[in-house]
Structure 1
């Protein structure tokens, strides 16, 4: 049997790396707030990336109780979505901003293909993870709904589509909290 404390420590390190980078990137933006053209879209996705890591963290115990986690394949299936959400968190905000001004919305659209591709891969791997390790719950397939929206956002640069889908995705996160509260996911 695999040592669950080691796995929890391992995910804590990965989660800490992602959260630290996310907070540090946001801090850099706040320090240059007067030279940045702000927009809510990238900030909403920052919030959702942060929340996705929190959701994974709170769902970890059921996955750690799965006998599959003790196998190398089970460990790999468990690890892939964690690494992908870490990459998402590293991608959602810019690493550096120029000193002479920065448009956050332009940056968001410039990064959308990479960002939403990572999110799509994350959703597929997380769904597979939930199906294999946590299959007794009925809503394991719920995250797959997100992949449809992420794939569309990869290929469109239409502002209104990003606005509507981001609002829907924020509603999805609220729904997820509700479903967790009643023990459905």
Structure 2
């Protein structure tokens, strides 16, 4: 077993656990006996998180082939970003079996109802979900830019500039969404984030074509 295979297995396990948690949450919400008042914002962010998973998976496939990540200290940011991605998947959708939470209401017939908008805008959800999103994006882009610098593809100035740009364009919007309940901000930045992850996936696809 090569060092690359040894490292990618750990990343694969964490990513797989995140996807399994996300799929389980969606399955529980789609059960016929579950009453859910759907809202487009958490559903859109579920799609965005899936985009983050795809982008991270293929970037790590390219990234971890470099020997620099074979040192435990150097690998730590990659491991932490993968753990943040797992938690991001776990926090994306509400747990249908939880009791006594703000997003559980009662409909006109007295049945328990999960209000997706209330869940999404709740302080606890925003704090943890977008906090993990900001943590993931900062560590992910930091690792990617360091990997490019170490491989000699870009000078240190360009790596720092790209890291600053990623923080301003990706990480800061996550922080803003975590601290505000304003619907216009969530509407605009959610659409912006969906466009950003779509662009990122195309960028990764081009990079994979060049590598192959």
Q: TM-score, normalised by structure 1?
A: 0.90
Q: Deviation string for 1:119-140 (max 9, x for gaps)?
A: 1111111122112223336785
Shift of 1:11: 1.4
Name the SS of the counterpart of 2:207 in structure 1.
Answer: coil
Counterpart of 1:130 in structure 2 is: 144
Matched, 1:173 2:187: no
Give me the whole-angstrom Cα distance separating, in 1, the residues matched to 2:130 and 2:33.
26
- Which stretch shifts more, 91-100 or 80-89? 91-100
Name the SS of the counterpart of 1:134 in structure 2.
Answer: helix
- Which stretch shifts more, 96-105 or 164-173? 96-105
Shift of 1:143: 3.5
Matched, 1:16 2:16: yes
Alignment of 1:71-86 (within 5 A): 71-86=71-86
Matched, 1:106 2:118: yes
- Which stretch shifts more, 114-123 or 33-42? 33-42
Counterpart of 1:59 in structure 2 is: 59
Count of residues paired in the alignment: 185
Change (3 A) 1:94 1:73: same
How large is the RMSD of aligned CA atoms in angstroms?
Answer: 2.4
Name the SS of the counterpart of 1:102 in structure 2.
Answer: strand
Shift of 1:78: 1.6
Counterpart of 2:107 in structure 1 is: none
Alignment of 1:35-46 (within 5 A): 35-46=35-46
Counterpart of 2:172 in structure 1 is: 148
Q: TM-score, normalised by structure 2?
A: 0.79
Structure 2 runs not aligned, ≥5 long:
98-103, 105-110
Contact 1:123-1:146 at 8 Å conserved across structures: yes
Q: Deviation string for 1:140-165 (max 9, x for gaps)?
A: 53532111211111111011110111
Counterpart of 1:121 in structure 2 is: 135
Give me the whole-angstrom Cα distance separating, in 2, the residues matched to 1:34 and 1:81.
33
Change (3 A) 1:32 1:109: farther
Contact 1:2-1:69 at 8 Å conserved across structures: no
Shift of 1:2: 6.1
Please tell me whether Structure 1 or Structure 2 has the larger radius of gyration of its CA atoms.
Answer: 2
Structure 1 runs not aligned, ≥5 long:
none
Shift of 1:65: 2.0
- Which stretch shifts more, 44-53 or 133-142? 133-142
